[in-house]
Chains A and B, each alone.
Chain A
Amino acid sequence: MTSAVPKLAWKGVTKQFGDRKVLDQLDLSVAPGRSLVIIGGSGQGKSVTIKAALGLLRPEAGAIELDGKNIVGLSEGQRRKLFSRVGVLFQGAALFDSLTIWENVAFRLINADGVSRRKARERAIEALEQVRLSADVADRFPSELSGGMQKRVGLARAVVAQPEILFFDEPTTGLDPITAAAINQLISDQVRRLGSTAVSITHDLASAQTIGDEIAMLHDGRIIWRGPASELATTDNPYVRQFVEGRAEGPISHTA
């Protein structure tokens, strides 16, 4: 983080919906090949942080820099090219429910990269194997799979084109602890295998420590703490302490 240009950086990013400021001059960055985890309470703007970086939401102020170049306000066409270097696992997996599992995984290959369906299917099945799903789920539909399996399919879809940057939005929320641990393991395996930079969101601390090199805590639209994953347990930052220990009383007032 010292001299090298970060892979991805948020610089003074402000995003508001109506009168409500969700991100307030947010500064954050992640170095190439590192895995950053963003923690924070529900509704604190973690998903918005990722969506701003992806250009799915446009910030009112500030810059998002990829390899040192600002990518806010790119044209749709430029954005599409940029997305070929990015993989995303959405909060609810966001699989296309009218397509089969392999068509989901191969969606980018077929629809954007012009890969033939036969070849795309082979690559989809390879990606499914990477996330420990057997080839016989390939022709089923997302609604026929469990939540954990859907997350795996979402992960396979995110890694199929070997992206430089991976985003994971609450990959384990809603899963039982054992399935969650398996997903965490798969995520860190895949990130390591591809050598990608990763940005993940979670409010599951086990998850944060398995997949993160560094952790940043988002509160009131700003990063209020950031440090190596190992320091999460020992820091005396009162916000982090309250979050980690799961106490209702503390500096974080809960309006929810």
Chain B
Amino acid sequence: MTAAEAARRVATHPVQALGRSALAAVRLVGAVGVFAVRGIIAALTPVWFVSQLRRQIVAIGFFSLPVVGLTAVFTGAALALNIFTGGGRFNAEQVMPQIVALGITRELGPVLAALMLAGRVSAAIAAEIGAMRATEQIDAMRTLSTDPFRYLVAPRLLAAVLTLPLLTAVADIIGIAGGWLVATRVLEFNPTVYVRNTINFLESWDIVSGLIKAAVFGFIVALMGCYHGYNASGGARGVGRATTHAVVSSAILIFASDYLLTTLFTHMS
């Protein structure tokens, strides 16, 4: 259905249209759920395609370092300036390092690293698997007695779940360093005091909870890329659609699950 047709249908039969989208949404959640379960089973079945896993860890993890690092340093720096300004309104500029550290480790480190991965990796996975679908490579793989969930999906899920926490740890460090740079170069904080305050203040849970979030986000990013690529249809346009859907759905699910996890963690402590 084209967008114009869809719009016409909504205009003439609003209730039907609503019902149809509700049904479609339920079907989609079901389909993604089944796909996720198959992916998890494949990822946990110990007949791994190790060379594929290695390749994906490099592609997903290593090559995302520059973009994650750059995002983190600028965000850390901007965050420091904003919190300094905000803190100034209560004469509380001095707690800036602590707030920056908390904001980065619990929230911005994992979320920003995940969003960068959604843009870079989810799209790349969807495009690659989508192109394989369009050119019958996935069908070919099955006729060669090889399960695409084990060969294609599992290594990507595992690689993302393993590497996003590491990328987040890097983002945490670089983000805090960005704050430190602004604080010491622009705002005349004492470099060693800044570092000491940060270290004394942070609890291990601040960091660990962020890393747990990152693992969940990594799963989401790879799952959305794989799901939309695997189900791509309609040639080159279908592949284009798959990449867009992968990025948009990863981003939305990252934010939604971020809120849910934060709520959960708040109740736990």
The 9 closest A-B pairs by CB, nearest first: A112-B145, A94-B140, A94-B136, A108-B144, A83-B145, A88-B143, A90-B136, A111-B146, A80-B145
A176 at the B interface (CB under 8 A)? no
A54 at the B interface (CB under 8 A)? yes
Residue of B nearest to A154 (CB): B140
For the residues of A in contact with B, the DSSP-based class is mixed
Interface size class of A (residues with CB under 8 A): 20 to 34
A84 at the B interface (CB under 8 A)? yes
Q: How far is the CA of A113 from the CA of B145 in the complex (A)?
A: 9
Q: How far is the CA of A108 from the CA of B143 in the complex (A)?
A: 9
Interface size class of B (residues with CB under 8 A): 10 to 19
Measured CB to CB, the closest approach of chain A to B18, in angstroms, equals: 22
**Are A54 and B144 in contact, with the CB atoms below 8 A?**
no
Measured CB to CB, the closest approach of chain A to B222, in angstroms, equals: 17
Q: How far is the CA of A92 from the CA of B135 in the complex (A)?
A: 7
Q: How far is the CA of A96 from the CA of B135 in the complex (A)?
A: 9
Measured CB to CB, the closest approach of chain B to A234, in angstroms, equals: 36
Residue of A nearest to B134 (CB): A92
| CB-contacts of B116-143 with A (<8 A) | 132, 135-137, 139-143
| CB-contacts of B46-86 with A (<8 A) | 49
**Are A111 and B49 in contact, with the CB atoms below 8 A?**
yes
How many residue-residue contacts, CB under 8 A, span A and B?
56
A83 in contact with B143 given A111-B49, A111-B151 (CB within 8 Å): yes
16 additional contacts, CB 8 Å, given A79-B142, A95-B137, A157-B144? A56-B139, A80-B145, A80-B146, A81-B145, A84-B145, A86-B143, A87-B143, A88-B140, A88-B143, A90-B140, A94-B137, A94-B140, A95-B140, A111-B145, A112-B144, A112-B145
13 contacts between A and B (CB under 8 A): A80-B145, A80-B146, A80-B147, A86-B143, A88-B143, A90-B140, A92-B136, A94-B137, A96-B132, A96-B141, A108-B144, A111-B49, A111-B144
Measured CB to CB, the closest approach of chain B to A74, in angstroms, equals: 12
A108 in contact with B142 given A92-B135, A92-B136 (CB within 8 Å): no
Measured CB to CB, the closest approach of chain B to A45, in angstroms, equals: 16
Task: Indicate which residue in A80, A81, A94, A95 contacts B139 across the interface (CB closer than 8 Å).
Answer: A94
A19 at the B interface (CB under 8 A)? no
**Are A108 and B146 in contact, with the CB atoms below 8 A?**
yes
